[in-house]
């Protein structure tokens, strides 16, 4: 699983590469940053975290997920139009 923080203003957010093995209850995660001022790390998920992910994957109906996505402006829901200055 790869979670990428790429784009404008993403320097403070990590990218995470995770290898999950549910059969052997193991994981290996690497956190890295585009900005070298931030130090990356490696870690493992807890048994509880692994179980939560497995439960989520078992509950998701993958046939109903969107197959195509569009890219557009991202504005968090807590901003209103008066808070955005272009």
pLDDT of res. 20: 96
Q: Which tens digit of pLDDT belongs to each residue from 22-57? A: 999 999 999 999 888 999 999 999 999 999 999 999
Q: Are the beta carbons of 15 and 32 closer than 8 angstroms?
A: yes
Segment holding 30, helix H or strand E: strand 26-32
pLDDT of res. 74: 58
Q: What percent of the chain has pLDDT over 70?
A: 77
d(CA 63, CA 61): 5
pTM value is 0.65
Predicted confidence band at 60 (pLDDT cuts at 50, 70, 90)? confident
pLDDT of res. 71: 63
C-alpha angle with apex 26: 6 to 55, nearest 5 degrees? 75
């Amino acid at each position: 699983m790869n979670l990428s923080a790429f784009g404008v203003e993403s320097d403070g957010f990590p990218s995470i590469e995770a290898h999950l093995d549910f059969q052997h209850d193991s994981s290996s995660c690497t956190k890295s940053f585009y900005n070298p001022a931030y130090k990356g790390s490696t870690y493992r998920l807890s048994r509880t975290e692994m179980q939560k992910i497995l439960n989520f994957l078992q509950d998701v109906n993958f046939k109903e997920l969107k197959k195509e996505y569009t890219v557009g402006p991202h504005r968090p829901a807590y901003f209103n139009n008066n808070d955005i200055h272009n």
